[in-house]
Amino acid sequence: MSLRHAILGILEFKPVHGYELKRILEEGIAHFWPVKLPAIYPSLHRLEEEGLVAHRTEATLEGRPDRKVYTLTEAGRAELARWRRLPPEGLPQLKSPLFLKLLFAKAENLPDAVEWVAKELEWLHARACEVRAEMADPRAFSSVVIHFMRESAVAHFELQIELLEELRARILQLQRERGPQHEPEGEV
What are residue 87's phi and psi, to 5 degrees?
A: -70, 160
**pLDDT score at 100:** 80
- Residue 187, in any domain of the structure: no
Q: Residue range 18-40: average pLDDT? A: 78
**pLDDT score at 138:** 80
* Global pTM exceeds 0.75: no
Residue 119 or residue 91, greater confidence: 119
Q: Per-residue pLDDT for 74 more than 60?
A: yes
- Residue 186, in any domain of the structure: no
Residue 10 or residue 61, greater confidence: 10
Q: Per-residue pLDDT for 22 more than 90?
A: no
**pLDDT score at 92:** 61
Longest dimension (CA), the chain: 72
Rounded CA separation 50/70 (Å): 14
Structural domains of the chain, count: 2
Q: Per-residue pLDDT for 184 more than 60?
A: no
**pLDDT score at 25:** 83
Mean pLDDT of the chain: 85
Q: Residue range 51-62: average pLDDT? A: 89
What are residue 16's phi and psi, to 5 degrees?
A: -140, 155
Give how far the C-alpha of residue 113 lies from the chain's centroid of Cα atoms, to the nearest Å.
25
Report residue 94's pLDDT band, with 50, 70 and 90 as the boundaries: low
**pLDDT score at 48:** 96
DSSP SS3 for 54: strand
User: Of the candidates 57, 85, 113, which is a domain's last residue?
Assistant: 85
**pLDDT score at 181:** 53
- Residue 7, in any domain of the structure: yes
- Which residue range(s) make up the domain with 130? 97-178
Q: Residue range 73-97: average pLDDT? A: 83
**pLDDT score at 124:** 93
One domain for residues 103 and 158: yes
Rounded CA separation 114/5 (Å): 40
Q: Per-residue pLDDT for 28 more than 60?
A: yes
Altogether, the residues listed in the chain come to a count of 188
Contact 44, 105 (CB under 8 A): no
**pLDDT score at 88:** 77
One domain for residues 66 and 11: yes
One domain for residues 67 and 116: no
